[in-house]
C-alpha cells in the first residue's frame, strides 16, 4: 500500500469547512434578529390595543385621599413695617380610612387580542378628627372655614359610573367635579364643607359609594392613620403589588379575596401639615393594590426562546459536522443554511400560532413541524434514514429542554448551565478519540 504525502486540498480542508460553518452561523443571526423584532412588534401591537380599549372604557384606577383642606390667612411685615397677607392651607388626612370593594372583571376583544377590564363597586368610610389649627398658633378669625373642602383623587374620572354623594356626619352633599384646592392631584372630586365653622370639636364621619370602570389595575393610597382595604373578585389570577402586600388573601379557581391593613407608621408623610411647613410628600410611592393578570405570556416566552436560537443553530450544525467527520460523506454549506433557516422559522411558527391557540399547543405544533421538516431534508443530505433519525432525536431533546427551561423561573439559570455542561460533555466524549490533525473531509467516493 502506498502512502501519499500530498497535503489535503483546500477544498477538502476541515479548517475551511469550519470557517464556512462559522460564517453561516453569523449570517443566520440576521433572520434571528428579524424574528426577535417581530416578537417586539406583536407585543407592542397588543399593548396598543390595551391602550385603545382603556381610552374607551377607562384606565387603571388609583384612589388618593380623602384630604381635608382648610384655607387660612397669615400676616407678616416687611422691613418698612408694612403688613402683608398670604393665603395658606392647613391639610388633614383621616384617622380611619376603610374601603370595601367588589371587582367585576370582563374580557374585551379587539381582533385577536384580549384585554381585561373591570367594573368595581367601592364603599368608602372613615373618620376625620376635628381640624385643630391651634397647633400652628393660627388665630380663629384668620381661618376661612367657609372654603373648607373634602377632596378625593381618582386617576381617571371618566370611569365614574354613578352619581356621587358624600355623607358627612348627618349631612348629604353631592360631589363636584375637579379635585378642589388640595394642591396634590388634579383629577378627582371635591365637596365644600362650610358647616365645619359651627361644628363641635368631635370626630367627623364620612362615607360614599362609587362605581368605577378601569383596566387591569386598581390601587389605593394609605392616607388613613389606619387604612383598611378589602377586595373581592371572580378572577383567579391576581397579582398583589405596590408598597404594601395584603395581610390575608385567599385565591381559588373561582376568584380571590384580599385584605390590607396599613398603619401611618409605614409612610414617610404625616397626618397633617400646612403649606408653610409642608414636608416632601409623595403619595404615589405608597400606593398598593391588585392587578388582574391576563395570562398572555407567550410574547415573553417567545422572546426568551429566540434568545436561545443561536445555541440551537450551533448545536445542530455541530451534529452535522460530526457526521461529516465520523462518516464518509460531505454536506454542502447550502444544506447547512437550509437547516438553519428551518430552525429560524420555528420561532415564527411559535409566535403566530401562540396568538391563536396558546403557547403550549403552538410549541408542540411548531416543534413537530420543524423536526419533521429537518428530518426529511437530513435523510437526503446525510444519505441515511438512521442518521436523520439521530438528528430528529437530538432536536427533540433540545426542544424539550428549551420548553422546560422556558417554564422555569427560580431554577432557569441552574437548569440551563447544567444542560449546556452535559451537552458539551457529550460532544467531548464522542470526539475524544479523533485525531483532528489527521482529519480530512472527503467525499464518499474518495474513500472507496
Instruction: Please check whether residues 76 and 164 belong to one and the same domain.
Output: yes
Q: Which of 295, 327, 356 is the last residue of a domain?
A: 295
User: pLDDT tens digits for 393-415?
Assistant: 888 888 888 888 877 766 777 87
CA distances to 33, 42, 113 from 352, in Å: 16, 9, 12
Which neighbouring-strand residues pair with 160? 212
From 319, 236, 241, 257, select the one nearest 21 (Cα to Cα). Answer: 319
Instruction: Please check whether residues 288 and 308 belong to one and the same domain.
Output: no
Q: Which of 280, 295, 310 is the last residue of a domain?
A: 295
> According to DSSP H, which parts of 329-444 are helical?
333-357, 359-381, 385-407, 412-430
What pairing do the DSSP bridges indicate for beta strands 217-220 and 288-292?
Answer: antiparallel
Position 4 in a domain: no
Percentage of residues in the chain having pLDDT higher than 70: 92
- Specify burial of residue 84 (Cβ count, 10 A radius: 0-12, 13-18, 19+): exposed
**Whole-angstrom distance, CA of residue 411 vs CA of residue 407:** 10
User: pLDDT tens digits for 337-347?
Assistant: 888 899 898 98
Write down the pTM of the prediction.
Answer: 0.71
User: pLDDT tens digits for 124-172?
Assistant: 999 999 998 888 888 888 889 989 999 999 999 999 998 899 999 989 9
Position 374 in a domain: yes
Give the per-residue pLDDT at 63.
94
Instruction: Please check whether residues 34 and 65 belong to one and the same domain.
Output: no
**Residue 178 banded pLDDT, cuts 50, 70, 90:** confident
Instruction: Please check whether residues 71 and 200 belong to one and the same domain.
Output: yes
From 118, 126, 154, select the one nearest 231 (Cα to Cα). Answer: 118
9 φ/ψ angles, rounded to the nearest 5 degrees: -65, 155
Q: Which of 232, 266, 295 is the last residue of a domain?
A: 295
Position 64 in a domain: yes
Instruction: Please check whether residues 86 and 154 belong to one and the same domain.
Output: yes
- Across the chain, mean pLDDT equals 84
Identify the H or E element spanning 64: strand 61-77
Position 151 in a domain: yes
Instruction: Please check whether residues 29 and 65 belong to one and the same domain.
Output: no
Give the per-residue pLDDT at 359.
83
Spatial contact of 347 and 307, defined as CB atoms under 8 Å apart: no
Instruction: Please check whether residues 371 and 287 belong to one and the same domain.
Output: no
Pick 47 or 252 by higher pLDDT. 252
Pick 435 or 106 by higher pLDDT. 106
DSSP state of 143: B
Spatial contact of 346 and 370, defined as CB atoms under 8 Å apart: yes
**Whole-angstrom distance, CA of residue 110 vs CA of residue 355:** 13
Instruction: Please check whether residues 205 and 334 belong to one and the same domain.
Output: no
3-state secondary structure of 281: coil
32 φ/ψ angles, rounded to the nearest 5 degrees: -65, -40
Position 1 in a domain: no
User: pLDDT tens digits for 411-444?
Assistant: 777 877 887 788 888 878 877 776 666 655 555 4
CA distances to 17, 50, 85, 102 from 321, in Å: 9, 47, 88, 62
Spatial contact of 177 and 128, defined as CB atoms under 8 Å apart: no
Give the per-residue pLDDT at 291.
92
When mean pLDDT is compared over 189-203, 221-235, 384-398, the highest value belongs to 221-235
Spatial contact of 228 and 246, defined as CB atoms under 8 Å apart: no
Give the per-residue pLDDT at 410.
66
Position 303 in a domain: yes
Instruction: Please check whether residues 202 and 217 belong to one and the same domain.
Output: yes
Instruction: Please check whether residues 27 and 94 belong to one and the same domain.
Output: no
Outline where DSSP puts E strands in 129-225.
149-154, 165-168, 171-174, 176-177, 188-192, 204-215, 217-220
Spatial contact of 122 and 133, defined as CB atoms under 8 Å apart: no
Q: What are the cell numbers at 169? A: 356626619
Position 113 in a domain: yes
Position 82 in a domain: yes
Could you tell me which residues come within 8 angstroms of residue 373 by beta carbon, excluding any fewer than 6 positions away? 342
**Whole-angstrom distance, CA of residue 28 vs CA of residue 313:** 8
Instruction: Please check whether residues 233 and 334 belong to one and the same domain.
Output: no
Spatial contact of 219 and 156, defined as CB atoms under 8 Å apart: no
Total structural domains in the chain?
Answer: 2
Print the domain residue range for 367: 10-45+299-447
Instruction: Please check whether residues 248 and 327 belong to one and the same domain.
Output: no
Count CB atoms within 10 A of the CB of residue 306.
22
Cα-atom radius of gyration of the chain, to the nearest Å?
A: 34
Amino acid at each position: 500500500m502506498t502512502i501519499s504525502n500530498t497535503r489535503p486540498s483546500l477544498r477538502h480542508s476541515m479548517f475551511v469547512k469550519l470557517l464556512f460553518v462559522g460564517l453561516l452561523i453569523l449570517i443566520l443571526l440576521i433572520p434571528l434578529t428579524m424574528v426577535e423584532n417581530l416578537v417586539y412588534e406583536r407585543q407592542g401591537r397588543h399593548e396598543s390595543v390595551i391602550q385603545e380599549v382603556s381610552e374607551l372604557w377607562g384606565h387603571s384606577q388609583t384612589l388618593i385621599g380623602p384630604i381635608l383642606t382648610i384655607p387660612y390667612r397669615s400676616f407678616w411685615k416687611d422691613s418698612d413695617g408694612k403688613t402683608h397677607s398670604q393665603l395658606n392651607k392647613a391639610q388633614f388626612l383621616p384617622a380611619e380610612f376603610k374601603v370595601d370593594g367588589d371587582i367585576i372583571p370582563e374580557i374585551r376583544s379587539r381582533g385577536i387580542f384580549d384585554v381585561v377590564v373591570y367594573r368595581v363597586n367601592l364603599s368608602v368610610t372613615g373618620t376625620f378628627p376635628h381640624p385643630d389649627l391651634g397647633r400652628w398658633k393660627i388665630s380663629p378669625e384668620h381661618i376661612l372655614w367657609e372654603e373648607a373642602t373634602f377632596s378625593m383623587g381618582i386617576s381617571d374620572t371618566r370611569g365614574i359610573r354613578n352619581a356621587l354623594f358624600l355623607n358627612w356626619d348627618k349631612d348629604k352633599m353631592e360631589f363636584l367635579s375637579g379635585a378642589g384646592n388640595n394642591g396634590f392631584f388634579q383629577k378627582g372630586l371635591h365637596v365644600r364643607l362650610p358647616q365645619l365653622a359651627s361644628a363641635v370639636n368631635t370626630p367627623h364621619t364620612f362615607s360614599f359609594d362609587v362605581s368605577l370602570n378601569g383596566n387591569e389595575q386598581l390601587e389605593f393610597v394609605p392616607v388613613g392613620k389606619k387604612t383598611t382595604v378589602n377586595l373581592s373578585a371572580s378572577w383567579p389570577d391576581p397579582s398583589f403589588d405596590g408598597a404594601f402586600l395584603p395581610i390575608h388573601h385567599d385565591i381559588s379557581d373561582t376568584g380571590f379575596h384580599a385584605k390590607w391593613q396599613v398603619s401611618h407608621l409605614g409612610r414617610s408623610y404625616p397626618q397633617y401639615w400646612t403649606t408653610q411647613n409642608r414636608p416632601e410628600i409623595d403619595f404615589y410611592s405608597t400606593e398598593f393594590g391588585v392587578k388582574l393578570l391576563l395570562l398572555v405570556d407567550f410574547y415573553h416566552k417567545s422572546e426568551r426562546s429566540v434568545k436561545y436560537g443561536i445555541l440551537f443553530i450551533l448545536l445542530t450544525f455541530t451534529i452535522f459536522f460530526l457526521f461529516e467527520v465520523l462518516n464518509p460523506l460531505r454536506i454542502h454549506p447550502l444544506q447547512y443554511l437550509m437547516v438553519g433557516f428551518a430552525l429560524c422559522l420555528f420561532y415564527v411558527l411559535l409566535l403566530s400560532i401562540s396568538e391563536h391557540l396558546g403557547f403550549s399547543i403552538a410549541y408542540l405544533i411548531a416543534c413537530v413541524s420543524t423536526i419533521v421538516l429537518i428530518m426529511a431534508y437530513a435523510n437526503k443530505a446525510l444519505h441515511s434514514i438512521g442518521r436523520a433519525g439521530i438528528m430528529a432525536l437530538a432536536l427533540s431533546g433540545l426542544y424539550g429542554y428549551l420548553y422546560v427551561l422556558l417554564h422555569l423561573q427560580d431554577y432557569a439559570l441552574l437548569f440551563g448551565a447544567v444542560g449546556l455542561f452535559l451537552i458539551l460533555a457529550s460532544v467531548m466524549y464522542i470526539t475524544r478519540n479523533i485525531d483532528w490533525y489527521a482529519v480530512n473531509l472527503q467525499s464518499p467516493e474518495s474513500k472507496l
